[in-house]
Amino acid sequence: MIYLTTASNDKDLLKPLGDLAVTAPIPYGDFIFTGVTEVDGQTQQVKVCGERKKMGDMVNCIDDGRHVAQMQAANEAGFDYYFLVLESVWRTDKGGQVQYRRGRNWVPTGMHRTRLEAYLNQLHYLLGVQVKQSANVKETAAVIKGVYQFFQTTEHSSLKKFYTSPVSGLLLKPPSLVRRVAKELPGIGWERSLLVEETFDSVRTMVNAPLEEWLEIEGIGKGIATKVQEELA
- The answer to whether residue 159 sits within a structural domain is no
Q: What is the pLDDT of residue 156?
A: 58
CATH of the domain at 104: 3.40.50.10130
pLDDT tens readout for residues 144-164: 999 999 999 877 554 444 444
Identity (one letter) of the amino acid at 147? V
* In-domain check, residue 157: no
**Other beta carbons less than 10 A from residue 181's beta carbon:** 19
One domain for residues 48 and 85: yes
Q: Where are the alpha helices (DSSP H) in the chain?
A: 14-17, 55-64, 66-76, 113-127, 137-150, 177-182, 189-199, 203-208, 211-215, 222-232
93 and 197 in a single domain? The answer is no
In a domain, 209, yes or no: yes
| Residue 171 counted as domain residue | no
Domain count for the chain, please give it: 2
pLDDT value at 167 more than 50 = no
The predicted pLDDT at position 160 comes to 44
Q: What is the CATH number of the domain that holds 226?
A: 1.10.150.20
Same structural domain for residues 137 and 209?
no
The answer, as to whether pTM is greater than 0.85, is: no
Q: Would the pLDDT of 8 be above 60? A: yes
Asked if residue 29 and residue 110 are part of one domain, the reply reads yes
Q: ∠ at Cα 41 (45, 145), nearest 5°?
A: 40
Whether 105 and 188 map to the same domain: the answer is no
* Range(s) of the domain holding residue 206: 177-232
Half-sphere exposure of residue 34: CA atoms within 13 angstroms, side-chain side: 4
> Do 104 and 208 share a domain, yes or no?
no
pLDDT digits (tens, 9 = 90+) for 184-213: 888 888 778 888 989 999 989 999 999 999
Same domain, 145 and 75: yes
* Percentage, residues of the chain above pLDDT 70: 91
Q: What is the mean pLDDT of residues 31-38?
A: 90
Q: Give residue 48's pLDDT.
A: 93
- Determine the average pLDDT of the residues in 48-65: 92
